[in-house]
Structure 1
Amino acid sequence: MQRALAQVGIREVMFGADVSPGGQTVLHVFGTSPAVESAVEYPSPGTLLLVNDSVAEPWRRLPAPAPGAVPAPSADPDLLERTLRERLPGAVGVTEEEIAATEVRLGVPLPEELKALYRATRVSPAGPGGSGDWEADFAEQQAAEAAVGCELCSLDALFIFDADLRPCPWEYAAAQAVVTPSDAAVQGLVGSPGWIGFGSNGGDTFAVDLTPGPCGHLGQVILIDHEQHIGAELYGESLTELVLNGFERRDQPSRDRQRLPATAWVGDHHQLTDLVPAAHPDLEVVRIFRRSGTPLSLAPVVGLPRLRTLTAQPGTLADPLEVTGLSALEYLGLGADEWRVLLDAGAVPPTLLAARIEVHGDEHPSVIVDVANEILALRDRPLIDRTTVRGQLRLPDQPGS
């Protein structure tokens, strides 16, 4: 089977086989669909994309305005430039024309500290795009990084760290919530048009932040962790402070993305065992796992204005039709039986952007795919192809085996 798939350029396929004791076999092979994200676990076909190019709400979230934000007291572009020139004697920086062209390319004005940094040094990429002298470019790059304290981008390589740079499957993205506490220095975003990436520590990104949190400073330096999908950490209140004192690794506070009131995980081994404590106007995400006792009613969260994601493992809901009371829902994950209730009642929420069939146990993949195709058909989305092959397996005691 692997050789046959390779011959037609298919990397993965979902299939199931029904084999009787006598060897009669029905093989079900399920194709792919452009409207389905790849499955993470079998036999789920994956997330059903009901609207083209849609992304979860945190990936659409823009930063809150920060009109009162000002640079930190330590921000001193003149001191920064003097310090770098002392550390890099003879270095030739970029021109004002190049700075202006970069601002046009990025669509935002560069903060004065970032301008000062590049006036003091020109970082040419070693290799393609450099001056042509690989050894000279590499030496210049090494010197600049030693002077600044981190791996540094050339001016041409400055970039806006927006949400597109943190792609995430719908299944996981829908369960995230962006939260910015009132005492936060950095807004809890996926990305921002005000995050200007200028360097790295070899894996994570350093950026100048022009959209700080309520207690942040304009132009502060943040670290964007490549292993996280949301948020960034304050690394220094200014570029001047970091260049003068060093970019050494700093301890960061622990992250807790599963927190009320924005998200609620309900189940025997999770933060809540009931929905009542989760009911809050700011609630965005509810995930219901296996729990002791009777199935849950959604009544406590019906009508909440921001509840956009609900996933419930099979058998955990008392009445799947209560889903119709969640008017802001954009992502829904239910078991096949619960989806069947909604489909038969014509009650699939029209606001959905994506959906998933939660699988727990030994559900036959044909049943799962049939339900998935019914959901896709409601939005005229491409269906999952399926092929059925019937045959007879030769058993060990049969002639020729």
Structure 2
Amino acid sequence: MSDHESPELVDLFTAYTAGPDSIGAHLRACAARGRSRDPLLVVTGADMALYPGDGTPPTVLPYRMTNRGFKELAAVSHLGTALSSLAELYHREPDGVWRQDAELLLRRTRRARAANSAALWRDRIDAAALRGREESVAAMVDYACAITERYLLRALAEPARYFNHQTLRDTYLDDGHPETPVSFNRIMVATFFLVGLDTSYRLITWLDERGIDWARAMVVVVGQIGRPTAGVTWRTNSVAGMVLAASRGKLPLSHLYIAPHAAGFATPVDGDLREVRAVEEQLRQLWAGTRVTVELGGAMFDGYPAFDPGDETTGRPHPVTGPGTSALVTEQPVIRAVDDWLSLVTRLRLVMEDPRQLLSGAVTDYAAQQLIAHDNNPSAVTVPGLDNEPYPAFGTASAAA
């Protein structure tokens, strides 16, 4: 028996939805027209576009592709995860590919260490938020490569002992081992923070220059940002957090929507904004259509309990870690100070175990908050895991062995 649809009832269904001439479509278009003069900020995984409103041409910031030093800092940050992954590979398949992978990592760690220098960070990478810290960053990278090289050599000689998670934690990742005056956990925090610091600095600067009226602003984050399961809520989307920070609390949370399945636009090439302009009306309708449904619910059901975003909002306090607190956290804990290592490292674990999180967002919100607290001056911000840490000078690369 074939499926049957009643054409009369289907017509009734499409009277409200599922078509360009439906009541719902007309309401979305009407709502968008009512907001046509309001600024619309659209964020994709690579770009940020501001549509000032009333037909004024958009401006675009390609914040991801112009993120100087991101891959270089991420390469260093990944060393801890790489060693942990090698330990897991050895544990699962002792006769597998772990040795060739470890030897490849050793060769590339040595090459990276040889290429690292303060001049590289100052003169070639030249990330705005790292200026004045090039010597410290180079020392951190040299140290990170040196202790990784040393660990790999030992692990290749004694894999059962060193490709072991307990040994890795005790002698490389965690604080307290005499051979590692700065634990690699601190280096991971520092590198994530530096990336967040630079990205936040450029976004905040760009948004400040736009002079946005945040009380009227419409903000929508579209498409995939990070891994497929990440960044789909207010609290787990680090770019949304940076925008909220940049508004200095003036952007209502109810004006920011995250639409992971919505299409945005490709990064403009050679200043060609035709595609960016072409999607403005569609994106305005996306935002306004979402907003008008919220408002419609309040009008239809006035007197009933209203929706409360609860712990999804950045306005709610983060959980606090410390003696006597639960061993479990459901959200990123609050960072109480630059040396609050329990919370900082707990965030590293949480962004790996919680598939909703952006891996790079472990401390990005804290970096943005610190920038705002220091008048958007990166040099005034203390970088946990970098500033005031006792990075020793190893001398030549062979000394690490």
| Interval of TM-score (by shorter of Structure 1 and Structure 2) | under 0.3
Higher relative contact order (CA 8 A, sep 6+): 2
Q: Which structure has the highest strand share of the two?
A: 1
Normalising by the residue count of structure 2, what TM-score does the alignment of the two structures yield? 0.25
**Greater CA radius of gyration, 1 or 2?**
1
TM-score by length of 1: 0.25
